[in-house]
DNA sequence: GATTCTTCTTGAACAATGTTCATTTTCGAG
DNA sequence: CTCGAAAATGAACATTGTTCAAGAAGAATC
């Protein structure tokens, strides 16, 4: 993304882009804000009747979003601020909220665990899913072949749940 | 990293940097090559007597390396080539080899599984560990608090192994 | 040692891109 | 219509990757 391209696409001058977004970081962050909102909307649309199906649905929805908007997700997770400026709190909170969406179904599947522990488990599980997907979708690093990604991701979720003591179909 | 800084640090001219590395990509890739070699060396130094300890050791070694060289790892995984040039095969192979180091111990723990399946399981497990660590070490995204990362990573490995049918101490 | 050819080194100049700001345009208030 | 505030503009600047003609250094030959 280039400031001049944005200006041309918007049909305005370079200066106007700066009036609107402040600087390049502001431009990127505006995009990232929309990205995390779109991601969250998609994750929240996953049916929540059955917690097990929901967990699979969340992983699958994340995979779908990552497949369709690989570059947007990269911008969200890889962008560094200029001059070590702090990363905006609101985006941080939004990402954390998205990652916490695994909390509710996990809580239902693990009613006897310490809820704080489940909260961390859910973020960790989402981080793991994120890692598998982001490396799997890099064409260059065939950690997990993309065509198997969907199936393997489901397998991973099942395996991890089994390790947590959740018996399938319970 | 800037070409001019490298030239000054090396005590030579800008042009000499280009003679040596070709272009900026070449410079980055040289660094990335050393990074993956250092990472591999560290992972290979993990004792392999006990497969369970080895898996924990590999995860822990990766965490240690990521903690000490966060920016090097980011360069390795996040760098994009200019003009959509292909990513060098040799680095790709080296990263895949590093990721495959979980294969041997997993194979010992899962002797009855299809070896091809275990190969994929090991890469998936490493991808998951990578995701947990890389998001956990971003100060901005406290998916898993850094001070708990070591302990939680061990817990994750145990949980996943349990899900795969490995009973602790067997 | 002098000459010539090859190779390496240099850094000024160029290109691309984020950024600034004096100037101009726009537009509402009086 | 006039004036002043606000917004828009784009030329000019700063940074940084890149090129390449010119020069320096070295090797080979006589």
pLDDT tens-digit series, residues B145-157: 788 999 999 999 9
- The Cα B128–Cα B119 span in angstroms is 14
At B31-68, the pLDDT tens digits run 999 999 999 999 999 999 999 999 999 999 999 999 99
Q: Over 60: is that where the pLDDT of A88 sits?
A: yes
Q: Which structure tokens are listed for B147? A: 């001070």
| Residues comprising chain A, all counted | 170
**Average pLDDT, stretch A68-85?**
95
At B86-131, the pLDDT tens digits run 999 999 999 999 999 999 999 999 999 999 999 999 999 999 999 9
Is pTM beyond 0.85? Reply is: yes
B4 touches strand C (CB under 7 A): no
- The Cα B135–Cα B131 span in angstroms is 6
In this structure, the protein residues whose CB atom falls closer than 7 angstroms to any atom of nucleic acid strand D are A 12-16, 18-20; B 1-4, 14-15, 18, 23-25, 82
Chain A residue nearest residue B87, CA to CA: A140
**Average pLDDT, stretch A47-67?**
97
Can you give the pLDDT at residue A121? 94
Burial of B128-155, coded b for 16+ CB within 10 Å and e otherwise, reads: bbbbbbbbbbbeebebbeeeebeebbeb
Q: Which of A164, A153, A151, A148 is nearest to A105 (CA)?
A: A164
Say how many Å lie between the first and final Cα of chain A, rounded. 49
Nearest to B163 among A124, A134, A163 (CB): A163
Q: Which of B86, B70, B88 is nearest to B133 (CA)?
A: B70
**Average pLDDT, stretch A113-127?**
94
Can you give the pLDDT at residue A169? 58
Of all residues in chain A, the percent with pLDDT exceeding 70 is 98
Can you give the pLDDT at residue A144? 81
Q: Which nucleotide is nearest to A2 (CA to C1')?
A: C17
Q: Which CATH number is A28-164 given?
A: 1.10.357.10
- The Cα A58–Cα B141 span in angstroms is 19
Q: Are B160 and A159 in contact (CB under 8 A)?
A: yes
């Amino acid at each position: 993304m280039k400031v001049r391209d944005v200006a041309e696409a918007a049909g305005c001058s370079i200066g106007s882009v700066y009036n609107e977004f402040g600087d390049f970081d502001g431009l990127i962050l505006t995009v990232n804000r929309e990205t995390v909102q779109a991601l969250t909307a998609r994750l929240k649309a996953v049916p929540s009747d059955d917690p097990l199906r929901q967990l699979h649905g969340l992983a699958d929805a994340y995979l779908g979003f990552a497949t369709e908007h690989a570059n947007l997700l990269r911008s969200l997770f890889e962008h560094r601020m200029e001059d070590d400026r702090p990363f905006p709190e609101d985006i941080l909170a939004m990402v954390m909220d998205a990652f916490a969406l695994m909390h509710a179904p996990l809580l239902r599947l693990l009613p006897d665990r310490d809820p704080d522990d489940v909260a961390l488990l859910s973020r960790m599980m989402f981080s793991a899913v994120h890692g598998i997907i982001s490396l799997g979708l890099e064409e260059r690093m065939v950690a997990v072949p993309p065509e198997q990604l969907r199936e393997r991701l489901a397998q991973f979720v099942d395996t991890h749940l089994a390790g947590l003591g959740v018996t399938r179909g319970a």
